[in-house]
A and B are shown apart, each in its own frame.
Chain A
Amino acid sequence: MKERSDGKASGKNITGFLLIAVPSAVVLVLLILAVPYYAGASERISSLYTNLAVPADRALTADIDGYSLNQHRNLAAAKLYLLKQVQAEASFDNQLGEITFPPGPDPHVDLLIAADQKRIKLIRLQMQAKTLRKLRSFNARDLAANAAVEAQVTIIRQDLGLPADSGALY
Chain B
Amino acid sequence: MSQRDTVQEGHYPYQEPPYAESHYPGGGSYQEAPYREAAYPDDDYPQAFYPEHEEPEAPKPKAKKKKSIDAWMAQQSTNFPRFKRRTIALFFLRLPAFVPWFFILRGWLSLNAKDVLTLSEADVLGTGGEATFLIAVSITPLITLTGARWYAPLRRWYGIFFALIGISDATTAAITTSFSGGVFGRLAGHTFLVTGFLIVLIAIPLLLTANTPAQRKLGTYWKKLQKMTYVIWGFVILHLALLDGLKPFDGPQGDGDPVFHQRFYQIVAISLPLVLLRLPPVKRWVTETRAAGQQWKVWCAIAPMAALYILAFAFIFNEEIFTGLQVMTLHPPAN
Alpha-carbon distance A3/B292, docked complex (angstroms): 8
Q: Determine whether the beta carbon of A19 is less than 8 Å from that of B276.
A: yes
B316 to chain A, nearest CB (A): 15
- Which A residues between 27 and 51 are near B, CB-CB below 8 angstroms? 27-28, 30-31, 34, 37-38, 40-45, 48
Alpha-carbon distance A107/B282, docked complex (angstroms): 48
Alpha-carbon distance A41/B261, docked complex (angstroms): 11
Q: Determine whether the beta carbon of A4 is less than 8 Å from that of B307.
A: no
Does B212 have its Cβ within 8 Å of any Cβ on chain A?
no
B143 to chain A, nearest CB (A): 15
- Interfacial chain A residues near B254, Cβ < 8 Å: 48, 98-100
* A-binding segment of B104-112, B120-128, B234-242, B297-305: B297-305
Alpha-carbon distance A97/B119, docked complex (angstroms): 14
- Take A1-B287, A16-B279, A97-B335 as given contacts and tell me if A21 and B253 are in contact as well, using a CB distance cutoff of 8 Å: no
- Interfacial chain B residues near A13, Cβ < 8 Å: 281, 284-285, 288
Q: Determine whether the beta carbon of B259 is less than 8 Å from that of A37.
A: yes
CB contact between B282 and one of A4, A19, A27 (< 8 Å): that residue? A19
CB contact between A24 and one of B261, B286, B288, B302 (< 8 Å): that residue? B302
Alpha-carbon distance A95/B282, docked complex (angstroms): 47
CB contact between A20 and one of B256, B261, B276 (< 8 Å): that residue? B276
Number of interface residues of A (CB under 8 A): 37
Does B308 have its Cβ within 8 Å of any Cβ on chain A?
yes
- Which B residues between 305 and 330 are near A, CB-CB below 8 angstroms? 305, 307-308, 311
- Interfacial chain B residues near A34, Cβ < 8 Å: 259-260
A-facing mask of B269-303, CB < 8 A → 1, else 0? 00010001101011111111001100000000111
Alpha-carbon distance A99/B334, docked complex (angstroms): 12
Alpha-carbon distance A30/B307, docked complex (angstroms): 11
Q: Determine whether the beta carbon of B305 is less than 8 Å from that of A16.
A: no
Q: Determine whether the beta carbon of B279 is less than 8 Å from that of A45.
A: no
A164 to chain B, nearest CB (A): 21
Q: Determine whether the beta carbon of A41 is less than 8 Å from that of B279.
A: no
A160 to chain B, nearest CB (A): 10
B75 to chain A, nearest CB (A): 26
Does A113 have its Cβ within 8 Å of any Cβ on chain B?
yes
Q: Determine whether the beta carbon of A23 is less than 8 Å from that of B305.
A: yes
Q: Determine whether the beta carbon of B276 is less than 8 Å from that of A44.
A: no
CB contact between B261 and one of A28, A31, A100 (< 8 Å): that residue? A100
- Take A16-B279, A16-B284, A98-B335 as given contacts and tell me if A21 and B301 are in contact as well, using a CB distance cutoff of 8 Å: yes
Q: Which of B255, B277, B286, B307 has most chain A Cβ within 10 Å?
A: B255
Considering only CB atoms, which chain A residue lies closest to B292 in the complex?
A: A3
A98 to chain B, nearest CB (A): 4
- Take A13-B284, A20-B282, A44-B256 as given contacts and tell me if A27 and B272 are in contact as well, using a CB distance cutoff of 8 Å: yes
Does A138 have its Cβ within 8 Å of any Cβ on chain B?
no
A156 to chain B, nearest CB (A): 14
Considering only CB atoms, which chain B residue lies closest to A43 in the complex?
A: B256
Alpha-carbon distance A116/B286, docked complex (angstroms): 60
- Interfacial chain B residues near A130, Cβ < 8 Å: none
- Interfacial chain B residues near A44, Cβ < 8 Å: 256-257
Alpha-carbon distance A48/B334, docked complex (angstroms): 19
- Interfacial chain B residues near A165, Cβ < 8 Å: none
Q: Determine whether the beta carbon of A101 is less than 8 Å from that of B301.
A: no
Q: Which of A23, A31, A48 has most chain B Cβ within 10 Å?
A: A23
- Take A16-B283, A38-B260, A45-B255 as given contacts and tell me if A25 and B304 are in contact as well, using a CB distance cutoff of 8 Å: yes
Q: Which of B285, B291, B311 has most chain A Cβ within 10 Å?
A: B285
Does A15 have its Cβ within 8 Å of any Cβ on chain B?
yes
Alpha-carbon distance A1/B334, docked complex (angstroms): 58
B-facing mask of A93-113, CB < 8 A → 1, else 0? 001011111100000001001
B135 to chain A, nearest CB (A): 21
- Interfacial chain B residues near A23, Cβ < 8 Å: 272, 276, 305
Interchain Cβ contacts under 8 Å between A and B, 13 examples: A1-B291, A12-B285, A13-B284, A16-B283, A17-B301, A23-B305, A27-B305, A48-B254, A95-B253, A98-B253, A98-B254, A100-B254, A113-B334
Write the residues of chain B forming the contact surface with A, with a CB cutoff of 8 angstroms: 253-257, 259-261, 272, 276-277, 279, 281-288, 291-292, 301-305, 307-308, 311, 334-335
Given A19-B276, A48-B256: 19 more A-B contacts, CB < 8 Å: A12-B285, A13-B281, A13-B288, A16-B279, A16-B282, A16-B284, A20-B276, A20-B277, A23-B305, A25-B304, A27-B305, A31-B307, A34-B260, A37-B259, A41-B256, A41-B257, A99-B253, A99-B255, A100-B256
